Amino acid sequence: MTRIALLLACALLFGCGGSGDSGPRCEQVCRKFVNVCGWPAWTSVEQCKRGCLEDMYRRSDANEVLDCYAAAADPPTTEAVNAAVDEAVARGVYDSGISQGTFDRAAALSQMTEQMTCDPFAAVQCKTDAVLVRPDLPLVNEDSVGSSSPD
Amino acid sequence: MRLRALVLVLAVGLLSCEEEYNYLTSVEYRPDIHDVVECDFSPTEEGWERYTCLPVFSDRDPESEPWESSGIGDFDIVQREIFGAPFYQMWYSGQAPFTGTEEIGYALSMDATNWIRHPWNPVLKTGEREGDFDRDGASVGCIAFDGRLGRYHLWYTGTNSEASGTTFGHATSTDGTLWLKDLQNPLDPFAGITSPTSISRVWGCDALYEDGLFHLWVGGVTRPDNFAGLEEFLEQTHYDVGYMSTVDGVNFDVVEQPVLLHTQHRGPQFDAEGVHKPSVFTFGDGTETDRYWMLYAGYNDVIATDDPGSNLIFIGQEGQSLGLASSNAPDSGWERVTDTPVPLDPDLTRTLDSPRAFFINGRVHVFFTDSFVDEESGEEFTGIGLGIAPFPSSEESQ
């Protein structure tokens, strides 16, 4: 019994099992979300970090997932901005400006850079991509974990 | 004893480590909506609270674009959890001025009250070809996220005034912005159903993805083939909620009989004449309380107007309020929780419609459309409201 309790305590102390290494990175990403982006979802970095550790629980791909979230907050690379503007053009976002001859690519790049910095739509997409990979590290207590499906 | 208590506490802690978790009780350290929003919630009755800075979303927002500037219509919301906090993805119908064309936009909120419109809106536009079923308009029905394939499914109504009228369609997306319309559109889930008591048209829906299956609850109408005059039409036409399910989004298994009926023609109840716009959320495993909970809009007055010129009857509803029902099965056994409306209409405007309900961290959160008055112009307009209540309340858990 004591051994089980200690095992459980260790798991919790190290941030839910598999996410033991995620603490510093979770804090880093959460500082961006809360302090830099000013996203109102959490009341503090600490609250965000705790949720982050939960999300990374059992994920062997925690680093990749956290890279995705960090990229959603960071200013995009020049290549990423150019690609996004190209895609927007292809999807017809700038159709009216193009047809009227007023489309300004430099202005579009600048606007896109702004939109892609602290981009919550990109953060949600990280979540969408993350659910495709099932957490695969061992459960600490298999009986206690259920499942739910998002609506 | 102390060791057992420690194990219990730790086990509860470990429960919180689940991916895509679903808590049955509130978790203190997770964000509380009261702490992240700018305005207060005002208590109404029975634990319900209504947000005081309403609407949270409308065509009067400064960020509103021309394509949506004539009004916001039906909408649906997918709620995702990121780092323990709810993020709300909304797809909504916007109406353009002059043409009245409806198209679909995408917006996101991290606190349920401040919404960011996607810069590439509208994300689902009307069809471009003459015969497209959605050539003249596309309006949100319902949306669900398939967590296994990472894909959003949208069911929507399309209008082609010169061909098929208003019909039902389906589209999918992996990012919420690029939608692939189904080649089988338009869809008729009720094709081949001959029961005179089956609903025959979709008027608003809600979708829920569970274990490889999409449940769809649909508001619909049962109407007579023949009738003599408006009075007989009103007596024999019913507005109820039906159920159907689908695996692929386009082929449906339809339960022929409605699962939630209007209360009573010309009765005194708030939902006497009709129920529609269902929104279902799940709570628990169905052992101690029902698993499925439905918010719906009920109304106690139907106004039918005959247009001899077009030989059409136009139908409108008045006296709308929100009701709550529950069941342990998605396709049967639905019962009203109370005979009175959900107390989110303290001013008794009777204009609440299109609820969208979610269970989040010990509370039910309900978005709904309501009528508001522009303080500057005095004009009425439709926007989205928000209310919350602890869930389950002691009454609901019995």
Give the pLDDT score at A139: 64
For residue range A17-68, what is the model confidence (pLDDT) as tens digits? 444 578 999 999 999 999 999 999 999 999 999 999 999 988 999 999 999 9
Pairs from B247-250 (Cβ < 8 Å, separation ≥ 24): B247/B212, B247/B213, B247/B214, B249/B153, B249/B155, B249/B170, B249/B172, B249/B182, B249/B214, B250/B170, B250/B182, B250/B184, B250/B187
CB spacing of B79 vs A151 below 8 angstroms: yes
Residue A140's pLDDT is 58
Identify the CA nearest to B24 among candidates B286, B366, B211, B212: B286
Encoded tokens for B49: 């609270």
Residues B336-361 have pLDDT tens digits of: 999 999 999 998 899 999 999 999 98
How close is the nearest chain B Cα to the Cα of A77, in Å? 19
Identify all chain B residues contacting A30, using CB atoms and an 8 Å cutoff.
83
First to last CA, chain A: 39
Contact B21 A148 (CB under 8 A): yes
Q: How far apart are CA A47 and CA B253, in angstroms?
A: 44
Measured between alpha carbons, how far is residue A2 from residues A9, B2, B37, B392 in Å? 10, 11, 43, 36
Closest by CA position to B254, among listed B199, B327, B203: B199
Please list the residues that pair with B313 across neighbouring strands: B306
> CA of A1 to nearest chain B CA: how many angstroms apart?
8
CB pairs under 8 A between A and B: 175
Q: How many CB atoms lie within 10 A of CB A78?
A: 10
Whether ipTM > 0.85 holds is yes
Judging contacts by C-beta atoms under 8 Å, the chain A residues touching residue B208 are: 149, 151
Residue B121 · residue B65 · CB < 8 Å: yes
Nearest-neighbour CA in chain B from A54: distance (Å): 4
Q: Which A positions 33-62 lie with beta carbon below 8 A of chain B?
A: 33, 39-43, 47-55, 57-59
Check pLDDT > 70 for residue A98.
yes
- Which of B3, B20, B85 has the CB atom closest to A148's CB atom? B20
Contacts of A16 in chain B (CB under 8 A): 14, 16-17
The model carries a pTM of: 0.89
DSSP string, B308-348: TTTTEEEEEEEEEEEEEEEESBTTB--EES-SS--S--TT-
**A6-35 residues touching B, CB cutoff 8 A:** 8-9, 11-12, 16-17, 26, 30, 33
Which residues of chain A are within 8 Å of residue B281 when distances are taken between CB atoms? 151
Residues in A closer than 8 angstroms to B111, CB to CB, are 40-41
Nearest residue in chain B measured CA to CA from A10: B10
Q: Which of B63, B82, B142 is the best substitution to test chain A (most A C-beta atoms within 10 A)?
A: B82
| A122 touching chain B per CB within 8 A | no
pLDDT at A37: 98
Q: Per-residue pLDDT for chain B (398 aa), expressed as one digit of tens each?
A: 343 433 333 333 333 333 344 445 567 788 999 999 999 999 999 999 999 999 999 999 999 999 999 999 999 999 999 999 999 999 999 999 999 999 999 999 999 999 999 999 999 999 999 999 999 999 999 999 999 999 999 999 999 988 878 899 999 999 999 999 999 999 999 888 888 788 887 888 999 999 999 999 999 888 777 777 788 888 888 899 999 999 999 999 999 999 999 998 888 999 999 999 999 999 988 888 889 999 999 998 888 888 777 777 787 888 899 999 999 999 999 999 999 999 999 988 999 999 999 999 899 999 999 999 999 999 999 999 999 999 887 666 55
Q: Residue A150 is nearest to which of B17, B118, B147, comparing CB atoms?
A: B147
